[in-house]
Amino acid sequence: MIYFLIFITTIYFALIALLIIGYNKVETTCIKNTTPKNTFSIVIPFRNEAHNLPNLLHSLAIINYPKNLFEIILVNDYSTDNFKPIITNFKMKHTSINLKLINNHIKSNSPKKDAITTAIAQSNYEWIVTTDADCIAPTNWLSMFNHYILEKKPLFISAPVKFIEQDFFLFHFQNLNFISLMGSTIGGFGIKKPFMCNGANLCYNKVTFNQIDGFKGNTEIPSGDDVFLLEKIHTLFPHKTLFLKSTDSIVQTNAENSLKSFINQQIRWASKTKAYKSTFTKLIGIIIFLLNFLLILLLITSIIKPFIWKYLFVVFFLKFCIDFILIYKTSVFLKTQKSIKYYHVISLLHPFFIVFTGVFSLFKNYEWKGRVFKY
């Protein structure tokens, strides 16, 4: 067991170190006075988001980009709340903004993918930008995408997401977990092996989306509208899938407000891992799970065999240090360092959380937007 522990720890340490190197390789892009040339269709599926729509729509209303070069497509996914007056009032106040409301047509086991596909079929512009109804878009959002497209000629752009700042322990736990995911995302792009992205902040070429048949082949999986699309495009165009590392492109979203909803979210995210086609992605998932599982196993074993404590301490210390480097770098970039002061406590709890959600994702149904899914 000790040799296996050394092997997994070494692989984990090397993987995170590689992601840190990749993170550093992704250059930070700053806002520039680039002529607006590209056109964008902002696609936003929503279901029972009346409480979030006002903040989202306000952020879109003040976007610093010519109004004739973008449109907003809101896709109603069978909402039952009173959302219509919010959209009607917005359209009356902002007549210069091209906003249309359409209804989703569910044809698969993935309502969100269906909503995006429905919107793209009715979109008028060259680039598709996706976000969620509980998000707030930055003012220079489209300007940054326009600049990056003109400079780098990508076909798929992943961009950063962070949580709106709050101050309670569950938030800080979620925030550090999310920061680690965002840092790993950037690192993956930096080493030319992207394995994660976030649908709350994506931009991709519509012709390319149609060329790869959109989400075909992944519609049986309820979530994953972001990662599976990344996999398909990266397979065909490996040098055209990039990460826009810019503070002017950070979309903000809400953390979950209860432990139940947070765990449910994480089980949903973890459940799609087994459907990934990328060997590298699966390797990362397996190594992360195994190391955290071994830490818990060492803790239990050390109660019976005290000499195991030294192995537990060494492995945990190495994980603690290498994780901290990536998390700290990412938190500085995202300007969300307040949660760092909880890192030492949360790092003790995190292995239990990883193992719990990993195991339950294999057997447990999860709820998403009032619907129950199992994959």
CB-based contact 142:225 (threshold 8 Å): no
Structure confidence at residue 280 (pLDDT): 85
Phi then psi for residue 124, to 5 deg, are: -110, -10
How far is Cα 238 from Cα 252, in angstroms, rounded to an integer? 28
CB-based contact 228:212 (threshold 8 Å): no
How far is Cα 267 from Cα 282, in angstroms, rounded to an integer? 16
* 18's tokens: 């590689």
Structure confidence at residue 343 (pLDDT): 97
- Tell me the pLDDT of the chain (375 aa) as tens digits: 788 999 999 999 999 999 999 999 999 998 888 899 999 999 999 999 999 999 999 999 999 999 999 999 999 999 999 999 999 999 999 999 999 999 998 888 888 999 999 999 999 999 999 999 999 999 999 999 999 999 999 999 999 999 999 999 999 999 999 999 999 999 999 999 999 999 999 999 999 999 999 988 877 777 778 898 999 999 999 999 999 999 999 999 999 988 888 888 888 777 666 667 778 888 998 999 999 999 999 999 998 988 889 999 999 999 999 999 999 999 999 999 999 999 999 999 999 999 998 887 776 665 556 655 555
Domain region containing 323: 2-21+278-359
* C-alpha count within 13 angstroms, C-beta hemisphere, residue 156: 27
- Whether 93 is in a domain gets the answer yes
Query: How many domains are there within the chain?
Result: 2
Structure confidence at residue 270 (pLDDT): 73
Q: Note whether 182 and 37 are same-domain residues.
A: yes
Q: What does pTM read for this prediction? A: 0.92
Q: Note whether 249 and 292 are same-domain residues.
A: no
CB-based contact 319:295 (threshold 8 Å): yes
- Whether 86 is in a domain gets the answer yes
* 246's tokens: 């810019």
Structure confidence at residue 45 (pLDDT): 96
- Whether 152 is in a domain gets the answer yes
CB-based contact 275:224 (threshold 8 Å): yes
- Whether 185 is in a domain gets the answer yes
- Whether 371 is in a domain gets the answer no
Q: Note whether 36 and 16 are same-domain residues.
A: no
- Whether 107 is in a domain gets the answer yes
Q: Note whether 302 and 153 are same-domain residues.
A: no
Q: Note whether 13 and 31 are same-domain residues.
A: no
CB-based contact 156:237 (threshold 8 Å): yes
Q: Note whether 329 and 289 are same-domain residues.
A: yes
Structure confidence at residue 373 (pLDDT): 53
Q: 350-355 long-range contacts, Cβ below 8 Å, gap at least 24?
A: 350/176, 350/177, 350/292, 351/292, 351/293, 351/295, 351/296, 352/296, 353/173, 353/177, 353/266, 354/288, 354/289, 354/292, 355/289, 355/292, 355/293, 355/296
- Residue 337's SS3 state is helix
* C-alpha count within 13 angstroms, C-beta hemisphere, residue 76: 14
- Whether 186 is in a domain gets the answer yes
Q: Note whether 62 and 186 are same-domain residues.
A: yes
Q: Note whether 223 and 346 are same-domain residues.
A: no
